[in-house]
Amino acid sequence: MKQESIAGNLKKLAIFLALTAVILILMRYLFPEQSALSLEVMRDYSKEVALIFPPVLVLMGLADVWIPEDMVKQYLGKTSGWRGILLSLFLGTLPTGPLFIAFPIASEMLKKGARIANVVVFLGAWASLKMPQIGVEIQFLGLEFAFYRAGLTFIAVICIALITDKLLKRSEISWGKILKE
Amino acid sequence: MLVALIINIIAIGTLVYSFTQSSRKSIQALKTALMKGLKLAPWMVGIIVLIGIVLSFVPPEVIERYLGGEMTIYQVVAAALIGTVSMIPNLITLPLAGSLIDSGASYTTIAAFLTTLTMVGFVTMPLEIKLLGKKITFWRNLLAFFFAIIIAVIIGALM
């Protein structure tokens, strides 16, 4: 059973890579100018994802076996209130990679019973309140701009999360489709 | 790269500690990680290819043309839209934003661009929908877009 599903997933990946190769070759012939730039961007992103995604997966796997659902519910669940929001905010600001790496983590949080508001805060903080990113921002755009943007984004992230939480019920969310077995 | 190094060290350290506690659970964790990785890998490849293609058609020069110069409400909305469809690494974006400000672009425009660039992801939406559902994805992105414009307007007023 397990073996089959590994083979199945590998097959999907192989098909996907073949398709990608076809697209890249087409790009090269149809848009030679754009092709060079896009390859460069893809190389940079691939490097980042290749370095960051495996350890994130391992940490997710470890979290899965070691962190009991009750604990997630207690710290990030429905009744976690402002402490849950602050904890999610803190988890999101830890330096890591691009936002799409955070989606699987967010999905796991939901699955284990985290509140929708907390998951959205986590994603918002991950996206735009990263500490190293703010450092570079100060360097290029000045302290004043970076300070206002981070402060306003902080408020906005919490507003977005609370509004989303109010609008949606956990029961009507269909999350984690590709991670379910 | 330092970030990548730190995460790897943390992951390996945690894994080693986990093995000292229970090798059965640790092997289970690694299996879970492998399965998730295999399931997500095609998505990661797809997103990276899309990001590359989109950026090559919306290169920094084009962004410069649209976001530089006199500020109008259209320009702020355009900035938010460009930020929505593109996914540009911060290493490119922040210097670009800095040079745009130097050449006379308004802080409002740049704030709108930077905020949607980071918070709203058009290219990554299919993955977000798969993992978090249509509803969360829709509201999170829509609200982030509107708040980006509000943030931009307030920054414009403050600076």
What residue segments make up the domains of chain B, in order of their start?
1-40, 58-158
Where in chain A are the domains? Answer: 50-172
DSSP B69: S
> Which whole-number Å values give the CA distances from B67 to A134, A138, A163, A168, B105, in the listed order?
21, 20, 30, 36, 7
Looking up tokens 């911060």 gives: B90
Cβ of residue A6 closer than 8 Å to a chain B Cβ: yes
For the beta carbon of residue B77, count every other beta carbon within 10 angstroms. Answer: 15
> How many CA within 13 A on the CB side of residue B86?
25
Q: Tell me the CA end-to-end span of chain B in Å, nearest whole number.
A: 34
- Averaged pLDDT score across all residues of chain B: 89
Smallest CA–CA separation between A37 and chain B, in Å?
A: 6
Cβ of residue B19 closer than 8 Å to a chain A Cβ: no
**Residues B12-66: tens digit of each pLDDT:** 999 999 999 999 999 999 999 999 999 899 988 888 888 888 888 877 777 888 8
- Give residue A180's pLDDT: 57
- Say whether pLDDT at B74 is over 80: yes
Smallest CA–CA separation between A84 and chain B, in Å?
A: 18
- Say whether pLDDT at A3 is over 90: no
Contact B82, B113 (CB under 8 A): yes
Question: Would you call B37 and A53 a contact, using CB atoms and an 8 Å cutoff?
Answer: yes
User: Span A145-151, mean pLDDT?
Assistant: 95
- Give residue A164's pLDDT: 95
**Residue in B134, B135, B137, B154 to test binding to A, most A beta-carbons within 10 Å:** B135
Q: Pick from A46, A16, A42: which is nearest to B52 by CA?
A: A42
Looking up tokens 């192989």 gives: A14
Smallest CA–CA separation between A38 and chain B, in Å?
A: 4
- Say whether pLDDT at A38 is over 90: no
Which residues in chain B have their CB less than 8 angstroms from residue A140's CB?
94-95, 97-98
**Residues A161-171: tens digit of each pLDDT:** 999 999 998 77
- Give residue A181's pLDDT: 47
Confidence of residue A62 (pLDDT cuts 50, 70, 90): very high
User: Span B142-147, mean pLDDT?
Assistant: 96
Give the range among A85-89, A130-134, B150-154 with minimum mean pLDDT: A130-134
Confidence of residue A31 (pLDDT cuts 50, 70, 90): confident
Q: Please tell me the distance from the alpha carbon of residue B80 to that of residue A81, in angstroms, as a whole number.
A: 32
Q: Which of B49, B56, B143 sits opposite A23 (nearest CB)?
A: B49
Question: Would you call B90 and A136 a contact, using CB atoms and an 8 Å cutoff?
Answer: yes
Cβ of residue B27 closer than 8 Å to a chain A Cβ: no
- Give residue A1's pLDDT: 42
Contact B33, A57 (CB under 8 A): yes
Q: Please tell me the distance from the alpha carbon of residue A86 to that of residue A115, in angstroms, as a whole number.
A: 13
Confidence of residue A41 (pLDDT cuts 50, 70, 90): confident
Confidence of residue A2 (pLDDT cuts 50, 70, 90): low
Regarding predicted confidence, which is higher, B110 or A181?
A: B110
- What token pair was written down for A89? 């905010």
Task: Provide the number of CB pairs (under 8 Å) joining chain A to chain B.
Answer: 255
Question: Would you call B47 and A24 a contact, using CB atoms and an 8 Å cutoff?
Answer: no
Question: Would you call A104 and B131 a contact, using CB atoms and an 8 Å cutoff?
Answer: yes
DSSP code string of A111-176: HTT--HHHHHHHHHHHHH--HHHHHHHHHHH-HHHHHHHHHHHHHHHHHHHHHHHHH--GGG----
Cβ of residue B144 closer than 8 Å to a chain A Cβ: yes
User: Span B84-100, mean pLDDT?
Assistant: 83
Contacts of A161 (CB under 8 A, 6+ apart): A85, A116, A117, A118, A120, A121, A124
- Say whether pLDDT at A178 is over 80: no
Cβ of residue A96 closer than 8 Å to a chain B Cβ: yes
Q: What is the CA radius of gyration of chain B?
A: 20
Regarding predicted confidence, which is higher, A118 or A97?
A: A118
- Say whether pLDDT at B89 is over 80: no
Q: Which of A34, A156, A168 sits opposite B56 (nearest CB)?
A: A34
Q: Please tell me the distance from the alpha carbon of residue A157 to that of residue A140, in angstroms, as a whole number.
A: 23
Can you tell me the ipTM of this complex?
Answer: 0.89
Question: Would you call B121 and A100 a contact, using CB atoms and an 8 Å cutoff?
Answer: yes
